[in-house]
Structure 1
């Protein structure tokens, strides 16, 4: 099953699950209970903490939920804040790196904090992916995500996102149509 966020980020070939951590978790849980998919493939846009450039295409199966206050030692959590997809169809011993995609209901606009994310080996941010991976793991469904970078996480994040969003969506569509049977 191909998934996307929704609102202004929809695709004809994907089911929208909502924007942010909560909407996406609720809607995806309902979809899984109703449709019982064998695999989840999330497509969407992402902001880069600096490693990737706008319009880079990035595949991931690793997600985090790190709030910026955590980087400043001003908060803590007792919850698991970094997860990998259960790699059900991968043989033992197969090792491949996966960029970590951070999810928060807030967008990073501070380049200093973005660089701190890179220091923690977190490369991108997307508001839904942590929920997607969490729900998929709960139901033992393999999943992955495909992201096109729209912007850097800096003071121009929103402006650049708006400017690059349509082209990023086109790149996602081209990639999915070329590489998947839809």
Structure 2
């Protein structure tokens, strides 16, 4: 569903995009200077739906850590990131709990996107700059999926307009 004629689709979640982007880069005659990942995102709190959020910051922090059921050896230090920066959290799920979304927001995360962290990791491994351009389709609550389905066509339009206005395509 999330595809654009001017971008290469890499898959859903964290594993597929890492594998597919790695294949693309390994088969490239020349590596790009920058990878711009485009897609949708869910909002953890009060930001505006259908707005564009850009970021170079993506992390993987799981709900189980918020609930005190796990920890990660991946260093996540959000205190060094500017308060004005959109910080993306990625995982293989979509948050559907307002309470958990508030806890993510209180940790410093702004939006949720399933693929951004894996794209960032691959880009950095190849020494390539990374940026995400996301359009918010939903809040992270019990209506997340329905709102995503409803808002995605307009989000896709907004992303395309934004990319064209910035001269990216």
Q: TM-score scaled by structure 2?
A: 0.92
SS in 2 for 1:16: coil
Listed as ranges, the gaps of 5+ residues in structure 2 are none
Q: Alignment partner for residue 77 of structure 1, among 59, 65, 72?
A: 72
Correspondence list, 1:58-69, <5 A: 58-69=53-64
Residues 1:51 and 1:137: Cα distance change in structure 2 (over 3 Å): farther
CA drift at 1:38: 1.7
Residues 1:82 and 1:103: Cα distance change in structure 2 (over 3 Å): farther
Q: Counterparts of 1:181 and 1:56 in 2: how far apart (Å)?
A: 18
Residues 1:141 and 1:112: Cα distance change in structure 2 (over 3 Å): same
Q: Alignment partner for residue 34 of structure 1, among 20, 27, 32?
A: 27
SS in 2 for 1:29: helix
CA drift at 1:79: 2.7
Q: Counterparts of 1:19 and 1:71 in 2: how far apart (Å)?
A: 23
CA drift at 1:52: 1.7
Residues 1:181 and 1:60: Cα distance change in structure 2 (over 3 Å): closer
Q: Give the equivalent residue in structure 2 for 1:142.
A: 129
Q: Give the equivalent residue in structure 2 for 1:16.
A: 9
Q: Counterparts of 1:157 and 1:96 in 2: how far apart (Å)?
A: 25
Q: Counterparts of 2:21 and 2:76 in 1: how far apart (Å)?
A: 19
Q: TM-score scaled by structure 1?
A: 0.85
Correspondence list, 1:92-111, <5 A: 97-111=84-98
Aligned length: 164
Partners of 1:51 and 1:118 within 8 A in 2: no
SS in 1 for 2:96: coil
CA drift at 1:80: 3.2
Q: Give the equivalent residue in structure 2 for 1:165.
A: 152
Q: Counterparts of 1:118 and 1:43 in 2: how far apart (Å)?
A: 22
CA drift at 1:177: 1.6
SS in 1 for 2:99: helix
CA drift at 1:181: 4.4
Q: Alignment partner for residue 56 of structure 1, among 51, 56, 60?
A: 51
Residues 1:181 and 1:78: Cα distance change in structure 2 (over 3 Å): closer
